[in-house]
Amino acid sequence: MVTNNYITMNGNRFTKVEEEFIKKYHKHDVKENQCSSSLVKHIKAPVHLVWSLVRRFDEPQKYKPFVSRCVLQGDLQIGSVREVNVKSGLPATTSTERLEYLDDDKHILSMRIVGGDHRLKNYSSIVTVHPKVIDGRPGTLVIESFVVDVPEGNTKDETCYFVEALIKCNLKSLADVSERLAVQDRTEPIERM
């Protein structure tokens, strides 16, 4: 459905530009027992700074508030596996995750959950980071999409609502950290694989 400059997909409103990025980079093969969604965040910090945080598969705790510890097995490269400890308050304590794709030129990161003591089975996500002018200054458009199995006893809506809430919290924290670093003008160089 299109209204003015916004498109509604899966109950979320997107601009035409956001919709094009979603169609191009956020393709998931959604099965009958799965739910999927895309979320957008506009960040008042340059794309290189935001990407320097997002691409650190080995250090998600730099901006993800529910991660207390992360241990990467081996070097940071496609196929790397990380063991994440989750802070209390969530229905999990650990998550085992594999880096599926990392493109520093196009600013794309994809990961898949491969284990852990939680109910997010067959979860995979794609995060893309795009330059965007915000209030006349260099900013960033971040899009995160996911697909996940609907656990027994839950509905698609309940499952999507839960995962979207976690992602929204992570994106808000990413914005807070990025914008704080932008004000301080403290950026870390991107180390390419």
Q: What is the pLDDT of residues 135-171, one digit of tens each?
A: 888 999 999 999 999 999 999 999 999 999 999 999 9
Cβ atoms of 151 and 159 within 8 Å: the answer is: yes
Per DSSP, helices labelled H in 2-119 are: 16-25, 47-54
Q: How many CB atoms lie within 10 A of CB 14?
A: 20
Give residue limits of the domains in the chain.
29-186
Residue 10's pLDDT band (boundaries 50, 70, 90)?
low
User: CA-to-CA distance for 188 and 83, rounded, in angstroms?
Assistant: 24
pLDDT in tens, 102-148: 999 999 999 999 999 888 899 999 999 999 998 888 999 999 999 99
- 8 pLDDT more than 50: no
CA gap 53, 59 in Å, rounded: 8
Q: How far apart are CA 63 and CA 2, in angstroms?
A: 34
Give the mean model confidence (pLDDT) for residues 47-71.
95
Question: Both tokens of residue 13?
Answer: 């409103």
Q: What is the CATH T-level fold of the domain 29-186, as seen in this structure? A: Alpha-D-Glucose-1,6-Bisphosphate; Chain A, domain 4 (3.30.530)
pLDDT at 9: 53
User: Please, is 59 exposed, middle or buried when counting C-beta atoms within 10 Å of its C-beta (0-12, 13-18, 19+)?
Assistant: middle
State the average pLDDT for the chain: 89
